[in-house]
């Protein structure tokens, strides 16, 4: 019964896509070309494309072209996006979510807020509830604990339902192929080490956490900075510790370095907490910071602020913005899941623990 020109074009293109004549994410002919092909006006083509866009067959990119979208089985466009955080009290939380909110609300989305209290159980419970709700996507800060089978199932389920998600702050090691937006720890480690080198230091010790991806990455950056400066890597200057050794081993290691008589004018610490402990320990053995030895932290926490520790800062608002942008890209199909891996440039915050 309905046989308007644009309906005919809609059906024709739909059939072509379903028949696989156009690959996913390939560009279809421009509006003008299609207009010429079907012998109609550009407006008619536009109307057809608009309809196909709303049905999820295509997505248009301003100034670039119109592309074939991944077909979504079913999705209400609830315009709701879940944001799952560990704690709300976290000092970084407000700024990150502010960035998320800015981008999402500009794009007509609302935020559905959830907290896990940093427990696996909380995270699983959250996600189960979210699966029963109508959401278009999810931004999640993973809970600290390692991933369990139960979890993987929940994420697979979201994949199956075609609900995209983006990890922020961190990412389970087993899921690094999934979309994530986080601080570039390698770059951060390199940046803060380079800062010490630029200050004229040559013998730079490093204290890193061994059972943590971030620890490995920050160490990697530390090594890179030394290499670039032409300083040979000295394993004796690197102290590795595990979560359970925290508060004991780092300072022990540093004392051993001093006892061995190894020269050392600076220490790169895994995070601000360790840096604060190290400074306290150094003071207790009569070393002055930064006159005798420079110490750096990582994370730009309140501790670093109050103790005046030179550290690496998260660009918090930027992180939120990028995560939201990435998620929107995943939803409308303009970003592929495998490309949605964003590492953010860290910022050096210079304070009085280095000179």
Q: Which residues sit at the interface with DNA, rule CB under 7 A?
A: 2, 4-7, 28, 30-33, 39-44, 46-47, 49, 60-66
Helix (H, G, I), strand (E, B) or coil at 194: helix
Q: How far apart are CA 296 and CA 208, in angstroms?
A: 12
The reply to whether 57 sits near its own copies by the rule CB under 8 A is no
Phi/psi for 135 (5° steps) reads -120, 150
Nearer to DNA, 61 or 280 (CB): 61
The answer to whether 257 and 246 have CB atoms below 8 angstroms apart is: no
Task: Sort strands 347-349 and 311-313 into parallel, antiparallel or unpaired.
Answer: antiparallel
CB of residue 113 to its own copies, shortest distance in Å: 4
CB of residue 322 to DNA, shortest distance in Å: 15
The reply to whether 45 sits near its own copies by the rule CB under 8 A is no
Helix (H, G, I), strand (E, B) or coil at 214: helix
Nearer to DNA, 21 or 352 (CB): 21
> DSSP class of residue 312?
E
The answer to whether 167 and 182 have CB atoms below 8 angstroms apart is: yes
How crowded is residue 267: how many other Cβ atoms within 10 Å of its Cβ? 28
Helix (H, G, I), strand (E, B) or coil at 185: helix
Nearer to DNA, 102 or 234 (CB): 102
Q: How far apart are CA 268 and CA 196, in angstroms?
A: 9
- Residue 304: name its binding partner from DNA, its own copies, none (Cβ under 5 to 8 Å by kind): none
54: burial class by Cβ within 10 Å (0-12, 13-18, 19+)? Answer: exposed
Q: How far apart are CA 106 and CA 103, in angstroms?
A: 5
- Residue 149: name its binding partner from its own copies, DNA, none (Cβ under 5 to 8 Å by kind): none
The reply to whether 118 sits near its own copies by the rule CB under 8 A is no
- Residue 112: name its binding partner from its own copies, DNA, none (Cβ under 5 to 8 Å by kind): its own copies
CB of residue 33 to DNA, shortest distance in Å: 7
CB of residue 3 to DNA, shortest distance in Å: 8
CB of residue 318 to DNA, shortest distance in Å: 18
Of 145, 135, 228, 194, residue with least CA distance to 354: 194
- Residue 94: name its binding partner from its own copies, DNA, none (Cβ under 5 to 8 Å by kind): its own copies
Pick the binder of its own copies from 14, 95, 249, 351 (CB under 8 A). 95
CB of residue 53 to DNA, shortest distance in Å: 8
- The binding site for its own copies (CB under 8 A) comprises 1, 79-80, 83, 88-90, 93-95, 97-98, 101, 105-106, 110-115, 129, 133
């Amino acid at each position: 019964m309905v046989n308007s020109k644009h309906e005919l074009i809609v059906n024709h293109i739909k059939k072509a896509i379903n028949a696989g004549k156009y690959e996913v994410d390939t560009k279809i002919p421009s509006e003008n070309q299609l207009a010429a092909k079907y012998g109609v006006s550009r407006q008619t083509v536009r109307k057809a494309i608009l309809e196909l866009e709303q049905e999820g067959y295509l997505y248009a990119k301003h100034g670039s072209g119109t592309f074939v979208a991944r077909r979504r089985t079913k999705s209400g466009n609830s315009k709701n996006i879940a944001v799952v955080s560990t704690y709300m009290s976290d000092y970084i939380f407000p700024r990150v979510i502010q960035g998320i909110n800015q981008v999402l609300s500009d794009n007509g989305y609302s935020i559905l807020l959830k907290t896990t209290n940093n427990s696996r159980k909380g995270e699983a419970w959250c996600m189960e509830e979210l699966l029963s709700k109508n959401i278009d996507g999810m931004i999640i800060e993973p809970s600290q604990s390692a991933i369990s089978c139960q979890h993987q199932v929940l994420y697979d389920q979201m994949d199956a339902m075609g609900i995209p998600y983006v990890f922020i702050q961190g990412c389970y090691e087993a899921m690094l192929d999934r979309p994530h937006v986080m601080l570039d720890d390698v770059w951060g480690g390199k940046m803060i080490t380079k800062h010490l080198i630029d200050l004229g230091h040559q013998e730079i010790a490093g204290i890193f956490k061994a059972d943590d991806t971030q620890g490995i990455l920050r160490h990697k950056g530390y090594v890179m900075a030394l290499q670039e400066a032409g300083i040979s890597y000295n394993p004796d200057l690197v102290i590795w510790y595990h979560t359970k050794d925290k508060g004991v081993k780092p300072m022990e290691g540093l004392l051993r370095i001093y006892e061995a008589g190894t020269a050392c004018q600076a220490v790169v610490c895994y995070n601000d907490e360790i840096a604060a402990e190290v400074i306290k320990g150094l003071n207790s053995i009569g070393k002055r910071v930064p006159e005798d030895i420079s110490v750096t932290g990582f994370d730009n926490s309140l501790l670093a602020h109050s103790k005046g520790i030179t550290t690496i800062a998260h660009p918090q608002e930027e992180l939120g913005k990028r995560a939201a942008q990435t998620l929107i890209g995943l939803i409308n199909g303009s970003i592929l899941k495998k490309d949605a891996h964003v590492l953010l440039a860290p910022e050096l915050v210079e304070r009085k623990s280095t000179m």
